[in-house]
Structure 1
């Protein structure tokens, strides 16, 4: 009978949910290792520099302190098609070569103003793939920053679920 299967599945799920907090207690971000990425270490560093250019660190709040670059790498690896990832990789390489040509240093070693200049040239470019790269990285960097713990809890005052409940409130009639 399907009812027996459903009850068995429900029982196993409930047992798993009950044991999960005890089993996963003490986990940290370092314990949950990031899988190998399709982005090389240089590409990850370039992506971190782009995120830092878009939201620079100020008073320990910015893209790098909030680890937005790790969010971007994981997001692009797991949620975007191969074509988009290849375009991101290609544009990171173009961006780095442009910095080498214009400023005699890599994009990562360029100043904040120089990096901004390169990114703005991508946003105003005639090449659609450069514009697409800039828009995608900018939007996802902002999303990663806005949904970070510091911004959500300290700035917006977000409370984690289940939140606060006061069942004994006086109501004037």
Structure 2
């Protein structure tokens, strides 16, 4: 038997085995695998829509374009306790149920105005469940945190100066 042919076939088979997991990815799985939380693709898209409602795209990029929903999930996966993670996931499903009860549509199919109404109602509701409250607070806090620390904001919107700043010899000072 020809050794070169055998080596060639073994390498082709090894390459095929290495690529196989990427080809048979389960339908509906999240785009990123997390250590502590389990999400579906629908839940990830839902969170992207919630983040986009919080920071919509105007003349600056919105939350979806900056992938802030992935930042929220990364912070949730790494920095929050398992109790907070479970509250977050339960609150996410409660928000989906709430939007369906209110408008008989899922949150992702609502208009931008209706999505804003749902979130404003949650923000102003004093008797909301602790799960829904945890979901809203974590999502809002981490979306804003991710936006303010994004590459776009740090390079285009914030004018950075070296630590002491510039010297202004004519700055008016009040005498003591």
TM-score by length of 1: 0.67
Question: Partner of 2:158 in structure 1?
Answer: 156
Secondary structure, aligned partner of 1:65: coil
Question: Partner of 2:51 in structure 1?
Answer: 51
Secondary structure, aligned partner of 2:135: helix
Cα shift readout 1:126-149 (whole Å, capped 9, x = no counterpart):
135133322221111101011000
Deviation at 1:34, TM superposition (A): 4.1
Aligned 8 A contact 2:148 2:154 in 1: yes
Task: Pick closer, same or farther for the CA change 1:90–1:158 going to 2, 3 Å.
Answer: same
Q: How does 1:160-171 map to 2 (within 5 A)?
A: none
Question: Partner of 2:106 in structure 1?
Answer: 106
Question: Partner of 2:142 in structure 1?
Answer: 140
Provide the rounded CA distance (Å) in 2 between the counterparts of 1:106 and 1:85. Answer: 22
Aligned alpha-carbon RMSD (Å): 2.2
Aligned 8 A contact 2:89 2:135 in 1: no
Q: How does 1:124-139 map to 2 (within 5 A)?
A: 124-125=124-125, 126-129=127-130, 130-139=132-141
Asked which structure has the greater CA Rg, the reply is 2
Question: Partner of 2:94 in structure 1?
Answer: 94
Could you tell me which runs of 5 or more consecutive residues in structure 2 were left unpaired when the two chains were aligned.
Answer: 1-30, 163-176
Provide the rounded CA distance (Å) in 2 between the counterparts of 1:69 and 1:85. Answer: 15
| Number of matched pairs | 129
Deviation at 1:60, TM superposition (A): 5.1
Secondary structure, aligned partner of 1:108: helix
Aligned 8 A contact 2:63 2:147 in 1: yes
